[in-house]
Amino acid sequence: HYMLNSTINEQLVNLAEVKGGDVVLEIGPGTGSLTNILVNVGAKVIAIEK
């Protein structure tokens, strides 16, 4: 699955121009692969998993 590819997730975060202090609402974080990258750039993540 593409969301498990850290290179793609890093590109998504870069293209979205997420910066430290940004608040990101992540729906369905699953394994947290994208969540970890968001946190590493300093974003405040609100993750909702069903």
Q: What is the pLDDT of residues 24-36, one digit of tens each?
A: 999 999 999 999 9
Decide which of 4 and 22 is more confident: 22
User: Residue 3: which pLDDT band, with cuts at 50, 70 and 90?
Assistant: confident
User: What's this model's pTM, rounded to 2 decimal places?
Assistant: 0.90
Say how many residues make up the chain.
Answer: 50
Q: Show binding-site residues for S-adenosyl-L-methionine.
A: 1, 3, 28, 49
CB 49 within 8 A of CB 22: no
Domain ranges of the chain: 2-48
Q: Show binding-site residues.
A: 1, 3, 28, 49
In 3D, which of 42, 46, 30, 37 has the Cα closest to residue 6? Answer: 37
